[in-house]
Amino acid sequence: MRPLRHVVPLAVCAVSFAHAAEPGAGATVSAPAAAPAPAPAAPAPAPSFTAEELDAAIARTSEQLRRAGSESLRAPLALRLGDLWVLRARQHAKAGQSDRALDAYDQALQAVPAHPIALVEAGWIQLEAGKPDVARGLAETALAHDGDNAFARELRGEILYRDNRLEDALDDFRTALLKRPGSASLARRIEKLEKELTSERDYRRADSSHFVLRFDGDRDESVRHILLDTLERQLDDLQREFSVSPLPPLTVILYTSRQFHETTGTGDEVVGLFDGKVRLPVGGVTRVTPGLERVVRHELTHALLHARGRGTVPKWLHEGLAQVMEPRDLARYRTGVLREAKPGETLDLEPFSYPKAFTYVAYLEAQYSRARLLWFVDLLAAGNSEADAFAQAFGASRDETLEGWRRWLAQK
């Protein structure tokens, strides 16, 4: 088999979720904001093997390596073994089995210390698992062996970005793009980061136990303490509701309304965004209103669901549960949602709308319990398909619950 030394690494994307304002505050929105998409372009073509074929090849190559006498025989066998383990790791990662993927990348690194692809791809998994320090160590090891490794640069750029070191991140992304000039995703990443740098050039930061708040010192100094208190209080409450273990510090950035829409590329109806960081168009406010508390709870729910579901939670559940947790008032939405189905037609979640997502998740919670909703999230995080996870958690297919949802709304 030919060695696969230059396969493009898989990477995991952050997801962004815009959400709509309350009715009356503007039109509804259904398009999410542009995703930051740190992922590299499509993987280079690689021969596809079944898990059994790979396991057999790994066993065979390990045995050959064990028997090989001289270094000149061992070196190519070790390289091949490392590549085989990387392919096996990708199968686990694709199936959502991060722990097994990390074990396989470890095996690749035992065969080939500093295997560049194993380092970078394991780094992305560690980053998404909330371990930026481990991810950083892997990226630095890759760069120590090869400072030109564009994929390791991109990974380190993303780690720096999440740590709010925007200029350092931009440096890494630009260097990566020089090595991979055809990468549209890197070019988009750089463009987005440049916009953020323009908005946040003179921003200051304030830290609390679980948050890094970034704000304009002249404009938002008076509100920073009260906003950090609100964030801590709401996070504490939501963490208890979701039993999510502590997350790495979450960044919250304050913009004016205009800065917000320019930076995030969203329409006027969007009142908050979570794309790995929470972005709020509240720059210049002087107090925390009940409306702002609701936006905070909404965006923090996205952050917690994203963490618990390891990025696998579908949009209807993200937006539905975020609205349940605000909390929104069901009575204001039920008639409008019921009107979305024509007489004789089933009320369906497609096409997506915020009121439908909200009332459907409220129904699932009332009918089946919060615990089952969270179990569904855990099943998704473990790598199950949405249909399988749904059937297991609720004992029915999603289609089978739609009529119950309509009846429940009609009775409310």
Euclidean distance between CA atoms 295 and 64, whole angstroms: 60
Q: Which is nearer to Zn ion, 274 or 390 (CB)?
A: 274
CB of 327 to Zn ion, least distance (A): 14
CB of 79 to Zn ion, least distance (A): 46
Whether the Cβ atoms of residue 362 and residue 330 lie closer than 8 Å to each other = yes
- Exposure of 406 in the CB half-sphere (CA atoms within 13 A): 17
119 binds Zn ion (CB under 5 A): no
Q: Per CB under 5 A, which of residues 14..43 are in contact with Zn ion?
A: 17, 19
- At CA 283, angle to CA 221 and CA 187, rounded to 5? 115
CB of 29 to Zn ion, least distance (A): 10
**Interface with Zn ion by CB under 5 A: which range of 9-17, 97-105, 131-139, 188-196?**
9-17
Q: Which is nearer to Zn ion, 17 or 405 (CB)?
A: 17
Q: Which is nearer to Zn ion, 33 or 138 (CB)?
A: 33
Whether the Cβ atoms of residue 149 and residue 116 lie closer than 8 Å to each other = yes
Q: Which is nearer to Zn ion, 19 or 92 (CB)?
A: 19
Phi, psi (rounded to 5 degrees) for 285: -70, 155
Q: Which is nearer to Zn ion, 317 or 322 (CB)?
A: 322
CB of 322 to Zn ion, least distance (A): 5
Cα-atom radius of gyration of the chain, to the nearest Å? 24
Q: Which is nearer to Zn ion, 88 or 328 (CB)?
A: 328
Q: Per CB under 5 A, which of residues 238..277 are in contact with Zn ion?
A: none
CB of 351 to Zn ion, least distance (A): 17
Euclidean distance between CA atoms 322 and 332, whole angstroms: 16
CB of 148 to Zn ion, least distance (A): 40
How far from 17 is each of 14, 168, 246, 279, CA to CA, in Å?
10, 26, 22, 11
Whether the Cβ atoms of residue 146 and residue 119 lie closer than 8 Å to each other = no
Q: Per CB under 5 A, which of residues 309..368 are in contact with Zn ion?
A: 319, 322
Is the bond into 351 cis (omega within 30 degrees of 0)? yes
Please report which residue ranges of 265-345 form alpha helices under DSSP H: 290-308, 315-325, 334-339
CB of 317 to Zn ion, least distance (A): 11
Give the nearest residue (CB) to Zn ion.
Answer: 19
Q: Under the rule (CB under 5 A), what is the footprint of Zn ion? A: 17, 19, 319, 322
